[in-house]
Chains A and B, each alone.
Chain A
Amino acid sequence: MTRLFARMLLAGLMVPTSVGPAFAYTAYVTNEKDNTISVVDLDQMKTVKTIPVGQRPRGITITKDGADLLVCASDDDTIQIIDTKTLKIVGDLPSGPDPETFALHVSGNPLYVSNEDDNLITVIDVPTRKVIARIPTGVEPEGMAVSPDGKTIVNTSETTNMAHFVDYATAKMVASVLVDARPRIAMFKHDGSEVWVSAEEGGTVSVIDPVKHAVTHKIGFAIQGLRSDTIQPVGIQFTPDDATAFVALGPANRVAVVDAKTYEVKKYLLVGQRVWQMAFTPDNKYLLTTNGLSNDISVIDVADLDVIKSIQVGRLPWGVVVSPQ
């Protein structure tokens, strides 16, 4: 009896490790409308917890050691620090007004924050929680990206319609490159050779040479049965080998799969409604997308280029980050 029970228990315990991934990854999704973060267990593929945070949470990232989440609470004019172990808010960063998105330097510090209302980039030293620089930029700064070598910071401005290149060492703007209307996201290739900038209302992705500060290619999108003005590129992610890029197309409810060498669009994957931000799992097996209008995240199998699951989260999911372990 006891032996049978023990065997059953053992079998029961064995089940998750035999079918699931070796480690359970956790995704954190900001729900702009709910003022919460959904904690998604990627082993069970479901939301396991919802944490209340500040008002209008949008941009979200995680510190290099995975210890803390950083969340833009836009309407509270602050960035909240959340302990990933206790899921409690443990502090704030002085973000300046209306922080929307940010990027951590590749070394893990500092944090570059776009202040949409103030035409500023705020640079914050994360350990001391102090502002170390404010850099004037274009109207409605949005996307932030740091080059893989850590030497260049790129910021997009939604109403100025430019990608601004800031030198890390001097914290000075060195170049501004005109792109199409309402640039949202800037993303470097892992090898640093290109930075891609999505233009939400322009409907394109500009490929920029970060040395020459020039647009070298523009990627357009066309989906049968959809009018061009519903195709609104936002999020961009590259596979680790830089061979493939994924571009979230907003109200087109699709993610474009782009050959990152030839710039040819290979496939459109149907996901939830108004897809904006994306994040890979650390093993690069899955790509998660936030679908604002359908209140869910889609899980894309990266190898099969197939949408395998949608997971219910809170209302108006905006950003997503996955824990490194």
Chain B
Amino acid sequence: MRTSVTRFGRRVFFAAAAGAALAKTTQAAESANATIQIAYIRWAEQQVTISLLDKSAPDNGLAGAQLAIKDNNTTGQFMNQQFVLTDAPIRAGDDPAAALQMSASQGAGQRIGLVLTDVPAAMLLQLAAAGAGKGITLFNVRAPDDALRQQDCRSDVIHVAPSRAMLADALAQYLVWKKWSRWVLAYGSHPEDALLADAYRRAAKRFGARIVKEIQYKDTGGARQTDSGIVQTQQQMPVFTQNLPDYDVLVTADENEVFAGYLPYRTWDARPVVGSAGLRPVSWDPNSESWGGTQLQDRFVRMAHRRMTPLDMQAWTAVRMIGEAASRTKSADPATIAQDIKSPDFGVAAYKGRKLSLRDWDWQLRQPILLSDGRTIVSISPQPGFLHQTTELDTLGFDRPETECKLP
């Protein structure tokens, strides 16, 4: 049997049972304490980036989870609780379901019922299907797909990563506040880019912006970094953005880093670039210093010897949610912990200035979204004036009345 998933627009095949990921327990369990086992299943193949600075570290995401394990264990010493993380990388040719089974049987005979998934959407659905009915709760720390929160939603999958709709709404609110409401939407040719472009179309409609023109940039293949490629890029990008109607801002949807990174300072007209380059909506940024953020940044750099990425933050938050529920319930039982995380009183502090909690209609974590230019935080959405009857955080993404998710 062969299963397939789509990743970054390419087909990658996984042979069942063969070459299962090598799972490795990073911390030994201490028998005197109640042990909370957490698995981290991650797609370990690297994505190419336009800038050398954005090349993903081998432990991107994982390091965030590891720091939260340390934080949880500092708290755990007062609660007689011990947190243990099992790392399960998946590479091309591995079977995700086997990785799930393998990590679920790790840890001195204790079943792992709490699993972070740092994998693309299709693989997440495979994992969820493989884990169904086994009392396993998945924490999606990577996939931004709105479908996972809509028609493909599941009661055993908690989404810590913000969705594309949340990210697009966060940026749109700021652009509208700035009165940059005439957009040109430039999107790539990968399926993810089409989904992100949909999120920007929806955001424009919701917040009163106007897309005056859409242009598509086709990925014709090839390397990102090429010596002297700069000469051609300087010619290509003005031409790509030529002959556009009057507009305020160029909104880009390019999740695979094909073209957006080349647009700032190279557009035909002098216009700011936002979205996948320029001003970007993110769950975290290495220079976020508000609400005690500096403390987390310092702690992270000291442990990982690099800066903390949005994926690191999403993984940190997921493990902290588990830690928070374990100390509130004084329980190491995965089901009790998952139930507490889903309860209306639950909240986790994650350096965003307010408690983050789950939406009970799709198990998406509500969160403010940072708007970063890569150097500083330009703003944080939701923006003032975008009101909501329950919480302004629900102005980002699919709100209760709009949801297509039907949880049992």
Contact = CB atoms under 8 A, between A and B. Distances in A.
A225 to B, nearest CB: 12
Contacts of A202: 347, 355
B74 A201 contact: no
9 contacts: A138-B74, A138-B75, A158-B292, A160-B78, A178-B328, A201-B347, A202-B347, A202-B355, A203-B355
A162 B79 CA distance: 11
A312 interface: no
Interface residues of A, number: 26
B324 interface: yes
Contacts of A178: 327-328
B391 A159 contact: no
B336 to A, nearest CB: 16
Contacts of B298: 98, 117
Interface string B374-408: 00000000000000000110000000000000000
A161 B299 contact: no
Nearest to A184: B292
A266 interface: no
A87 interface: no
Interface string A30-51: 0000000000000000000000
Interface string B117-156: 0000000000000000000000000000000000000000
B304 to A, nearest CB: 15
B71 interface: yes
Interface size band for B:
20 to 34
Contact of A227 (B75, B299, B349, B391): B391
Contact of B354 (A119, A159, A229): A229
Interface string A156-184: 01111110100000000000101001100
B355 A229 contact: yes
A203 B345 CA distance: 12
B295 A182 contact: no
Contact of A159 (B302, B349, B392): B349
Most chain A CB neighbours (cut-off 10 Å) among B298, B324, B355: B355
B404 to A, nearest CB: 27
A114 to B, nearest CB: 11
B263 interface: no
Nearest to A97: B298
A139 B71 contact: yes
B355 to A, nearest CB: 5
B99 interface: no
A161 B327 CA distance: 9
Contacts of B292: 116, 140, 158, 182
A175 to B, nearest CB: 9
Given A117-B295, A181-B347, A181-B349, A201 B71 contact: no
Contact of A176 (B78, B295, B320, B348): B78
A273 B347 CA distance: 25
Contact of B348 (A98, A157, A181, A203): A181
Interface string B284-310: 000000001001001100100000000
Contact of B295 (A116, A164, A227, A229): A116
Interface string A178-196: 1001100000000000000
B191 to A, nearest CB: 36
Contacts of A227: 391-392
Interface string A218-251: 0000000001011010000000000000000001
